[in-house]
Amino acid sequence: MPPQRANGNSRIMLAGLGLLVAAIAVYAAFQLFSPPPSEVDVAYNTVSGEGFYQVMFETEAQPVPVNETHEWVLTVTTPDGAPVTDAEISIDGGMPDHGHGLPTEPRTTENLGEGRYRVEGMRFNMGGHWEIRIGIDAEPGLDEAVFNLDL
Amino acid sequence: MPVARPFLAIGALAGFLALSACDPAPLSADEKAKIASLVIDELAALPAAPANLYADNPQAVAFGKLLFFDQGLSGDGHISCATCHMPDRQFQDGLPRGVGVAQTDRRTMPLAGVGWNVWQFWDGRRDSLWAQALVPLEDRREHAGNRTAYAHFISANHSKAYEAVFGPLPELERMPSDASPLGGAAERAAWTTMSVAERDAVNRVFANIGKAIAAFERTLEPGETRFDRFARAIAAGEAPTGDAAFSDLELEGLRLFIGKANCLECHNGPRFTDDHFHNTGVPPMAADELDRGRAVGIGEVLADPFNCLETYSDAQPGACTALRFMKRDTAVMERAYKTPSLRGVAQRSPYMHAGQIASLDDVIDHYSTAPDAVAGQSEIRGVIFTDRGRKALIAFLKTLDAEGPNDP
């Protein structure tokens, strides 16, 4: 029964084709909708590289805005929670994936006491992954804390 | 089934191609978020202008509008701001380089949305609209006048309108007719004969002319486009209908723009600009006199006697955020220019800071070949576009066309 066989074959082929298209569609949808694997830890609270300081930032602008110059308040403590009140703080950063730095030169403009420091001039000029490095020089030693932000 | 395999593969391929051709994949959540970030509704409220006390004063707006179109405000009585910033052409002139009394070095910039700018000019050498307006007034290729003559002109022609906003004009009778610390030798010499108080009085009138014009310019808002109607629907989770619906080509262009072509790195937000400066490897107009862009603009804005931190500013120093936290690293700003807005861009060729690139086709070529910069480092990494990709990008840019003759 050649015709029937042919028929059966094409039915199998059609079914296979349908399955394949469906599989591709599902895969494509999965690729499109699944968030990219997160490799970085997004936190507003971190420990400096050598472990000398616990550093936290807060900002009134929530979520952290793009194309808007805004302020941060940094809180610096020792790992056991004692405020670091007389630190020299420097701020640097950029987008590692794009090889460019910050569009501004932010700096601390006020020591608010109790380990809190006002930072002015923060600005991000595109969405994506930013790295902010906070240099801290105080009694425990020189150290750097890094914040990873996904905007 | 040794025979069926290739059939199956071909069949699957055909099915897949057909899928992508007549039914583009639905927009992902990430794409939708990016599209929503560009819609005009995302435009923040007009930022305060702390250096200009009169920025939102309706009488200053009306007076500034008058001055913007007043050819009397020039050395030869024939040039106004509108000579180059034409209201029916998105407040620009369509020329490679602006022409007043003579040709300038740069392309006239459109003015829609300038109230939202952080920096003014291609190189950001001014930090406010009012300080910007004073530059063309004394540039010998533009209005070619001088500040003392302008003070006399205001006193003779607009004293009522001026005094209603800024208070009494100073005594000008005994002051020279033409004097300025810039300008020609005679004007500079005349300026040195004036007392400190007289110079201050003239500077104040000059600054106030700028402040009135700035108040008017702040009213020039970017208008809604077809793209905005499309994006608004997408942001609301609805299917765009009527003229808001995009063709497959326009959608493809938009996806390239926010995706593989990386345009969003710089042309982002509802004004399609990050308000920052980038070297994009655009070749100079003339190699002999190299324009260094932002690398020079940084020093100029710091030295400007009319900047936010100086005498004629109305701001508390703390409010001069842009200037205080300005990136001062000139090395990375070599031949960097301010990212222009792309709203209305298809309707205003030629392109770039000196009109170096004639058409949008050539702009896409530029982003595709990504030539090395003659100085500094270009940030552009070349993107290979298919013929359809090029057409798609341009089709998308046209959805940003300004609507109506007076809608910048």
Q: Cβ atoms within 10 A of the Cβ of B101, count?
A: 18
Domains and CATH numbers, chain B: 29-43+223-293+334-398 (1.10.760.10), 58-217 (1.10.760.10)
**Who's near B328: CB < 8 A, 6+ residues apart?**
A105, B298
Question: What backbone torsions phi and psi does residue B71 show, to the nearest 5 degrees?
Answer: -70, -15
* pLDDT-derived band at A10, boundaries 50, 70, 90: low
Q: How far apart are CA B361 and CA B387, in angstroms?
A: 11
Q: Residues of A numbered 73-132 whose beta carbons fall under 8 angstroms of chain B's beta carbons: which are they?
A: 98, 100-107, 120-121, 123, 125-127
Q: How far apart are CA B112 and CA B3, in angstroms?
A: 64
At residue B408 the predicted structure's pLDDT band, cuts being 50, 70 and 90, is: very low
- Given a contact cutoff of 8 angstroms between Cβ atoms, the answer to whether A137 and A144 are in contact is no
pLDDT in the model for residue A4: 41
Burial environment of residue B156 by CB neighbours within 10 A (0 to 12, 13 to 18, 19 or more) = exposed
At A42 the pLDDT is 46
Predicted pLDDT of residue B16 = 39
Residue B156 φ then ψ, to 5°:
-80, -30
Pairing of strands A70-77, A88-95: unpaired
Mean pLDDT of the region B206-224: 98
> Searching chain A, which residue's CA lies closest to the CA of residue B18?
A21
Which residue blocks in B117-276 are alpha helix, DSSP H? 129-138, 147-157, 159-166, 185-192, 196-217, 226-235, 248-258
Residues A9/A11/A13/A16 CA torsion (nearest 10 deg): -140
> Residue A106's closest chain B neighbor by CA?
B325
Q: ipTM score of the complex?
A: 0.88
Tell me if the bond preceding A103 is cis, omega within 30° of 0: no
Q: Does pLDDT of A13 surpass 80? A: no
pLDDT at residue B179 above 90?
yes
- Our CA-based measurement puts residue A70 at a distance from the nearest CA of chain B, in whole angstroms, of 9
Q: What is the pLDDT of residue B288?
A: 60
Among B137, B138, B103, B104, residue whose Cα is nearest residue B122: B104
Q: Summarize pLDDT for A64-84 with one digit per residue, the tens.
A: 999 999 999 999 999 999 999
Q: Count Cβ atoms below 10 Å from residue A79 Cβ, excluding itself.
A: 12
CB B304 within 8 A of CB A102: no
Residue B17 pLDDT exceeds 50: no
> In chain A, where do the E strands start and end?
45-47, 54-58, 70-77, 88-95, 100-101, 107-113, 116-122, 129-138, 141-150
- Subunit contact B328:A101, Cβ cutoff 8 A: no
Q: Which of B22, B43, B116, B327 is the best substitution to test chain A (most A C-beta atoms within 10 A)?
A: B327
Tokens representing residue B148 in the block: 């003392």
Average pLDDT over residues B45-58: 98
Q: Which residue has the tokens 């003779």?
A: B156
Share of chain A above pLDDT 90, in %: 65
- CB distance B364 to B393 below 8 Å: yes
A14 pLDDT band, cuts 50/70/90, is low
pLDDT tens digits, one per residue of B78-136: 999 999 999 999 999 999 999 999 999 999 999 999 999 999 999 999 999 999 999 99
pLDDT at residue A18, as a whole number: 54
Per-residue confidence band for A44, with pLDDT thresholds at 50, 70 and 90: confident
Question: CB A104 to CB B327 under 8 A?
Answer: yes
- Rounded to 5°, the CA angle B401-B404-B408 comes to 65
pLDDT at A19: 52
Name residue A110's beta-bridge partners.
A118
Average of per-residue pLDDT across B227-248: 97
**pLDDT for residue A39:** 41
CA distance B299 to B389: 41
CB spacing of A21 vs B16 below 8 angstroms: yes
* Helix or strand holding residue B400 (H, E): none
Do B379 and A100 count as a contact with CB atoms less than 8 A apart?
A: yes
Find the length of chain B. Answer: 408
Q: How confident is the model at residue A16 (pLDDT cuts 50, 70, 90)?
A: low
The predicted structure's pLDDT at residue B20 = 38
Residue B239 has pLDDT above 70, yes or no: yes
How does pLDDT run across B197-209, given as a tens digit for each residue? Answer: 999 999 999 999 9
Give chain A positions within 8 Å (CB) of B15. Answer: 17, 20-21
> To the nearest whole number, what is the mean pLDDT of chain B?
93
Residue A17 and residue B321: Cβ atoms within 8 Å? Answer: no
Residue A24, number of CB atoms within 10 A of its CB: 15
